[in-house]
Amino acid sequence: MKVALVYDRLNKWGGAERVMLALHKLFPLAPLYSSVYDKKKAPWALRFNSGQAKIKTSFLQNFPFAMRHELYAGLMPLAFESFNFDEFDLVISITSEAAKGIITKPQTKHICYCLTPTRYLWSGYKDYFNNPVLRFLSFPVVWYLKFWDKIAAQRPDAYIAISKEVQMRIKKYYGRESTVVYPPIEISNLKSQISNKSQNAKYKIQNIPYFLIVSRLVPYKKIDLAIRTFNKLKLPLKIIGTGSQMQELKSMAEPTIELLGNLTDKELVRYYSECCALVFPGPEDFGLTILEAQVFGKPVIAFRGGGALETIIEKKTGVFFEEQTIESLTKTIKQFNKMKFDPRDCIEQANKFNFKVFEERFMQEILRLMPRAAGIAFGDARQDDINKL
């Protein structure tokens, strides 16, 4: 049985890309289709070109400034509709935007592993278009994309949501039912990094307790809220990640706050292992970094909303703040500083989201949609077994 993977765009690194790699681990021979591919910004995708799997891009790849994908938002529907999947038995789209809109023939099954319904069209519309002038000028394109998105959302044969939060949004905005399969946390990979931490000065961190944020720096993540709060509290905060708000956030940060940009996994492990807690200020679809922190026995301070409600055990592996205000976050941080957490509880919680659990649940959904794939075996032989069908 031939399998293909489809992803919105290959030009960034974050939790969604870790989900993409988990699917690649399940289907190492599957080619990856995407609208555009930026090798500099997405070096992680090179592994798709290292074996039989290949990256295949749309016609947008040849357009001027193609890596500025937002310039071609109105062409994204056509880009994904232009792909031909006739040779495949199963196509899995991993998407928060347009990849679900691929067109397949009836004999080709399409599973959408939905990261979220398109945020800037639905749940995050007001955040993305808070400028009245921008909202007015973009109205024709946004109207068209909303219209297309509703139609495209009916094309997959089945939906899998990454969390109950996303499951509710799929029902609300698309009117589609879905099952939930949580993305995995690669615990063994992270733990192997712990015992091999480099002692190079590059990784050296001041021996001062600090709070940590690991996130893309974009508006809906609410990193600005965390910076304003920690400016007020004069507490040390280290922020790992890049994004459109990098310069704006740097200008806000006072001396106790460091913005470190993107780091390697080896560097990231060191920061996780030496922080006192992860701060998670925005409502997230799932939040893999919450689980990454718990792998290292670290509790999480998170906004009470989104996927965090499914990954944190309140007062055992973390605490919640109620409102996205400086006052609410300040109050919770002060409460947190008086509490004690057992690292073993955090590690135990993270272990519930390991790759084996993800593999079994995801393959169950494939079997439900495609009963003839009942010969698929879990484990190292899974792709070979699929190909024999």
Render pLDDT for 222-243 as a digit per residue (tens, 0 to 9): 999 999 999 999 999 999 999 9
pLDDT band with cut points at 50, 70 and 90 for residue 123: confident
The whole-number pLDDT of residue 377 equals: 42
Residue 298 CA: distances (Å) to CA of 51, 261, 291, 361: 37, 21, 9, 27
CA dist 194 and 67 (Å) reads: 35
The confidence score (pLDDT) of residue 318 equals: 98
**Which range is least confidently modeled, 42-56, 199-213, 266-280?**
199-213
Residue type at position 247:
Q
pLDDT score for 177 = 98
pLDDT value, residue 330: 98
Q: Is pLDDT above 80 for 205?
A: no
SS3 299: coil
- Is the pLDDT assigned to residue 331 strictly greater than 90? yes
Give alpha helix (H) positions in the chain. 15-26, 76-81, 125-128, 132-152, 164-169, 187-194, 223-233, 246-252, 265-274, 288-295, 308-311, 326-336, 343-351, 355-369, 382-388
| Average pLDDT of the chain, as a whole number | 89
Residue 193's pLDDT is 59
Q: Give the pLDDT of residue 189.
A: 63
Q: Say how many Å lie between the first and final Cα of the chain, rounded.
A: 5
pLDDT grade, residue 201 (50/70/90)?
very low
Secondary structure class of 231 (helix, strand, coil): helix
**pLDDT at residue 51 greater than cutoff 80:** no
Distance CA 333, CA 225 (A): 13
pLDDT in tens, 245-283: 999 999 999 999 999 999 888 899 999 999 999 999 999
Kindly report, residue by residue over 161-186, the tens digit of the pLDDT. Answer: 999 999 999 999 999 999 999 999 97
What is the predicted pLDDT for the residue at 290? 97
Q: Contact 56/33 with Cβ under 8 angstroms?
A: yes
pLDDT for the residue numbered 131 = 83
Is a pLDDT exceeding 80 seen at residue 388? no
pLDDT > 80? residue 366: yes
152 has pLDDT over 60: yes
Q: What pLDDT, on the 0 to 100 scale, is given for residue 168?
A: 97
Contact 197, 266 (CB under 8 A): yes
- pLDDT for position 385: 45
Per-residue pLDDT band at 99 (split at 50, 70, 90)? very high
Which DSSP category does 171 fall into?
Answer: I
What are the structural domains of the chain?
A: 3-184+354-388 (3.40.50.2000), 187-351 (3.40.50.2000)
Q: Which of 97-106, 150-159, 204-213 has the lowest mean pLDDT?
A: 204-213
For a pLDDT cut of 70, what percent of the chain falls above it?
89
Q: Which position has the higher pLDDT, 388 or 7?
A: 7
The pLDDT confidence band at residue 48, using thresholds 50, 70 and 90, is confident
- Pairing verdict, β 257-261 and 277-280: unpaired
pLDDT at 327: 98
- 378 pLDDT above the threshold of 50: no
- What is the 3-class SS of 6-49, one letter each residue? EECCECCCCHHHHHHHHHHHHCCCCCEEECCECCCCCHHHHHHH
What is the predicted pLDDT for the residue at 200?
37
Q: pTM of the predicted model, to two decimals?
A: 0.87
Say what the pLDDT of residue 70 is: 75
Q: Counting Cβ atoms within 10 Å, is residue 283 exposed (0-12), middle (13-18) or buried (19+)?
A: buried
Establish how many alpha carbons lie within 13 A of residue 222's alpha carbon, considering only the half-sphere containing its beta carbon. Answer: 18
